[in-house]
């Protein structure tokens, strides 16, 4: 069985709809919860991929998580890092962050960059990619060797790759209305998030399928090569 280690930084920032997509793609998630006392290991030894979720801003275990992210990049294991974990990944390689000017969460469309054309996950993604924005801090730049794959209309980094198998995604794809309410969002925002469920699935299910294929050591009917 192919498995992914999942780091859940807070109970309200869980896998959400990602859980079903991963299982359907043949990648079984095994969740570590440092917020309940689970230890973060030094490296991913007994799993085929790592997924680090959001909700870890200022957490006591951030140094251990950051070290695990860096080790996973060095080991060339498939990695997806979302929200605060994406920023931890980027800043550990030299990026910088800044507080957002105003907290304005909700569905967004971001633009795929030409540099994503040969990317193993995002090479066939649509030019306009649906995400859910929810953050109090944002990246102002990327590490020198990172590849920017998607950005906001004003150029703010959204999706990037470090090395050939580590992806950072500043926004969210796992959120649904219930998760928004659990994070103290209001009913209108929850309805707006649920309204883009179909668009999120259409865009992100194939990306998760391709991530699972990398973890399984194949390219899952994709013509794109793995990058060396």
32-91 residue pLDDT tens: 999 999 999 999 999 999 999 999 888 999 999 999 999 999 999 999 999 999 999 999
**Two tokens at 132?**
């859910």
Q: Going by C-beta distance under 8 Å and a sequence separation of 6 or more, which residues neighbour residue 216?
A: 2, 26, 27, 48
Q: What is the pLDDT of residue 227?
A: 35
Burial class (CB in 10 A: 0-12, 13-18, 19+), 112: buried
Q: How far is it, in rounded angstroms, from Cα 150 to Cα 216?
A: 25
> How do residues 177-226 score in pLDDT, each as one tens digit?
999 999 999 999 999 999 999 999 999 999 999 999 999 997 544 433 33
167 touches 160 (CB < 8 A): yes
> How do residues 153-178 score in pLDDT, each as one tens digit?
989 999 999 999 999 999 999 999 99
**Two tokens at 207?**
């990306």
pLDDT level of residue 228 (50, 70, 90 thresholds): very low
DSSP 74: H
């Amino acid at each position: 069985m192919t498995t992914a280690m999942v780091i859940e930084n807070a109970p309200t920032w869980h896998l959400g709809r990602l859980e079903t997509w991963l299982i359907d793609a043949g990648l079984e998630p095994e969740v570590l919860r440092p917020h309940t006392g689970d230890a973060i290991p030094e490296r991913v030894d007994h799993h085929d991929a790592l997924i680090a979720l959001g909700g870890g801003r200022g957490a006591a275990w951030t140094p251990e998580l950051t070290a695990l992210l860096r080790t996973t990049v060095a080991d060339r294991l498939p990695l997806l890092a979302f929200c605060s974990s994406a920023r931890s990944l980027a800043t550990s390689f030299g990026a910088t962050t800044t507080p957002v000017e105003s907290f304005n969460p909700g569905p967004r469309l971001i633009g795929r960059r030409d540099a994503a054309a040969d990317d193993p996950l995002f090479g066939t993604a649509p030019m306009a990619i649906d995400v859910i924005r929810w953050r109090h801090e944002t990246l102002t730049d990327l590490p020198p060797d990172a590849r920017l794959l998607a950005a906001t209309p004003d150029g703010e980094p959204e999706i990037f790759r470090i090395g050939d198998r580590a992806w950072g995604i500043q926004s969210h794809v796992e959120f649904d209305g219930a998760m928004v309410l659990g994070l103290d969002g209001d009913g209108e925002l929850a309805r707006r998030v649920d309204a883009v469920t179909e668009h999120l699935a259409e865009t992100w299910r194939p990306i998760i399928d391709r991530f699972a294929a990398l973890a399984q050591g194949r390219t899952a009917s994709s013509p794109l090569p793995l990058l060396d």
